[in-house]
Amino acid sequence: MALLEYLCAVVAVLVTYFVVVSRRINNHWKKRGIPGPEPVPFFGNLLPVLMRRKTMSDFYKEMYDNYPNEPLVGYYHFMVPILMIRDKGLVDRVFIKDFQCFTDRFGAPDIVDDPSNANLFVLGGNAWRTIRAKFTPMFTTGKLKAMHPNINAIADRFIDRLSEKLTDPVDLVKEAGVFAIETTSSCAFGIEPGAVDSETNEFGRNCLNVQPQNIFLFLRMSLLFIVPKFSGLIRLNVVSKKMASYFLGMIKDVLQHRRASGTSRQDLVQQMIVLQEKGEIEVEPQEVEEGVDDKSAYMKIEPTDDLIAGQALAFLLAGFDTTKYSLACMLLELAMHPEEQEIAREEVRKMNDLHGVDADSLKSMEYLEACMKEGLRLHSPLNSLVRICTKTCSLNGHTVNPGDKVFISIDGIHLDPSNYGEPEKFKPSRWLDDENRPQSGTYLAWGYGPRTCIGMRFASLILKSALAKILLKYRLSLAEPVKMPLAVNPMAIFFNFPSDKIFLKVEKV
Ligand code: HEM
């Protein structure tokens, strides 16, 4: 009995302590005069998300919409206070002008000995800056042109697959997924297209399951984001150990095979091999990022197979699902808007008659580009952009300290009527109207500032190649009604991935 009483007393003390600490933490924003939704102990503001009553995207967008006159809003990711930036001027400050105070995304240490975390997406500080400076030239116009025949071949295979499905409704997300598997395997993992052409082989299956959007990933990503040092200590990764070991092993095999056989191919793997052959990575004066006046902001890095494999893994993690869902959503919007689809088809036809579909002609397809931008505005695969403060700075009179987390709601900004007239409408023409072009800082599908998507030009080329080839051959329409806005997977912490199937009718033009 005495033991039971003793245990009850301990539990009562712990609960009281816990509630008091939670309350104190939950007063963080109140004390600073920053408005925000009322938190509950431990869960902060996440309870509706964890109970699947709201998606993370809805939660962010509601916060953006509910405080229309506030430049800053505070919320709690479990017990960690997070600052949401609403004001465009402050977005510019954090992501561009004061970027040197907000360089990190996860707050991970400079270089991590674990290759699955030592990648461009996760790394911070000098290691990120150094690798970014060396990897950016892999996506220049010339390099993309050289890779384009590969990309076109993958788009052709996509067209062939669709031709076999003309009688049945096409499962859009599934087909876009197979296309994304092929581009990822071919360009980032150096495997010939066709070798992994379906969801049923191991590579394809693993691509589809590399980051299953469930509660475990939600909690893992939450920990990495809110307590990066602790996550480092317990060696928490952005992917499971099994997936990391599969993909890292695969890319290392490709590296070894190319070196042993002397074979070469126009892809990202080859460019990484070229970088590796130059020896220790050191940033040259002409590669120094704008705003960085100190060369000590960079470091020397040994381009080991692990480091290279880590970057290929980042290309997969950052590029696979984003490409798949972006393509699916763009095709869906075109299917729902036959008039815009026809204008785009006419433009592609004209350019194709003159030059065929190549990297140059795709560049001149302005309407197609506008369709892509508009599709991404309405269906940005990422719901938010995140930065971690690395140097003390003041935002609107509020001091932000190293380790503090700031973010912006992409959907909030993309669907704000003060940024886009009739924001819910698919209107590619808004991108061609020179007088009313969307202002800078209001289009965030590829991110913003020096840490924007490194694969943007590459992904645009892939998406436009697929769109152009499909429009030339097929007319798209809905096979069954689709409810807008699309339902999103509730456990996708940073993403807007549609959760329902979408079926299109595809007919020859
Ligand atoms: C439609 C397709 C894609 C979209 C919409 C997209 C979007 C984004 C966004 C929003 C970010 C965060 C930027 C920020 O925080 O400011 C990002 C980062 C990144 N993306 Fe993409 N992405 C796409 C495809 C790709 C592809 C194909 C690759 C690989 C070749 C890629 C590689 C990366 C990497 C490595 C980062 C981290 C960059 C850094 O922190 O330096 N992405 N992407």
Give the Cβ contact number of residue 29 at 10 Å: 21
Ligand 1 pocket: which residues have CB below 6 Å? 105, 120-121, 132, 314-315, 318-319, 322-323, 326, 376, 381-382, 385, 445-448, 451-455, 458-459
Q: Please give the structure tokens belonging to residue 256.
A: 């070894």
Q: What are the φ/ψ torsions at residue 356 (nearest 5 degrees)? A: 75, 180
Query: Would you say 268 and 312 are in contact if contact means Cβ atoms under 8 Å apart?
Result: yes
Q: Whose C-alpha lies nearest to ligand 1, atom 25? A: 319
pLDDT of 111 over the 70 cut: no
Query: Is 2 a residue whose pLDDT tops 80?
Result: no
- Residue 348 clears pLDDT 60, i.e. is over it: yes
Mean pLDDT of 140-151: 92
pLDDT at 404: 95
- pLDDT of res. 431: 95
Is the predicted pLDDT of residue 169 greater than 90, yes or no? yes
User: Cα of 382 to ligand 1 centre, how many Å?
Assistant: 9
Q: Tell whether the model's pLDDT for residue 238 goes beyond 90.
A: no
CA-nearest residue, atom 29 of ligand 1: 315
**Which string of b and e fits 247-282 if b means at least 16 CB within 10 Å?**
bbebbbebbeebeeeeeebbbbbbbbbebbeeeebe
Please give the number of the atom of ligand 1 that sits closest to the Cα of 327.
1
At residue 417, the pLDDT reads 96
Looking from the CA of residue 326, the nearest atom of ligand 1 is 1
Mean of the per-residue pLDDT values for the chain? 90
Atom 11 in ligand 1: which residue has the minimum CA distance?
453
For 328-339, the pLDDT digits (tens) are: 999 999 999 999
- Binding residue positions: 453
Question: What distance in Å separates the CA atoms of residue 346 and residue 367, rounded to the nearest whole number?
Answer: 10
- The pLDDT tens digits for 63-110 are 999 999 999 999 999 989 999 999 999 999 999 999 999 999 987 666
Average pLDDT, integer, range 144-154: 92
User: In this structure, which residue's CA is closest to atom 24 in ligand 1?
Assistant: 319
- What pLDDT score was predicted for residue 299? 83
pLDDT, tens only, 191-235: 876 665 556 688 888 888 888 888 888 898 888 888 888 888 888
CA of 489 to the centre of ligand 1 (A): 20
Determine the distance separating the centroid of ligand 1 and the alpha carbon of 285, expressed in angstroms. Answer: 25
Question: Residue 446 C-alpha to ligand 1 middle, in angstroms?
Answer: 6
User: Residue 17 pLDDT more than 80?
Assistant: no
Minimum-distance ligand 1 atom for the alpha carbon of 188: 30
| Ligand 1 atom with least separation from CA of 95 | 16
Q: What are phi and psi of 493, to 5 degrees?
A: -70, -45
pLDDT at 7: 81
380 Cα–ligand 1 center, Å? 12
- Residue 289: count of CB within 10 angstroms of its CB: 16
Q: Which atom of ligand 1 approaches the CA of 459 most closely? A: 27
Q: Which of 139, 322, 407 to mutate to test the pocket of ligand 1 (most atoms within 8 A of CB)?
A: 322
504 backbone dihedrals φ, ψ, rounded to 5°: -115, 155
Ligand 1 midpoint to CA 452 (Å) = 7
**What pLDDT, on a 0 to 100 scale, did the predictor assign at position 281?**
85
Pocket test residue of 120, 405, 448, 453 for ligand 1, highest count of atoms within 8 A of CB: 453
220 to 48, 245, 469, 490: CA distances (angstroms): 18, 18, 39, 15
For residues 357-369, give the mean pLDDT: 95
For residue 482, what is the DSSP state?
Answer: -
Distance CA 126, CA 292 (A): 11
Annotated binding-site residues for heme read 453
Alpha carbon of 410 to ligand 1 centroid (Å): 14
Residue minimizing CA distance to atom 12 of ligand 1: 447
pLDDT confidence bin for 351, thresholds 50/70/90: very high
Strands (E), 108-218: 170-171
Nearest to 211 by CA among 59, 60, 319: 319
Q: What is the whole-number distance in angstroms between the Cα of residue 75 and the centre of ligand 1?
A: 25
Amino acid making up residue 443: Y
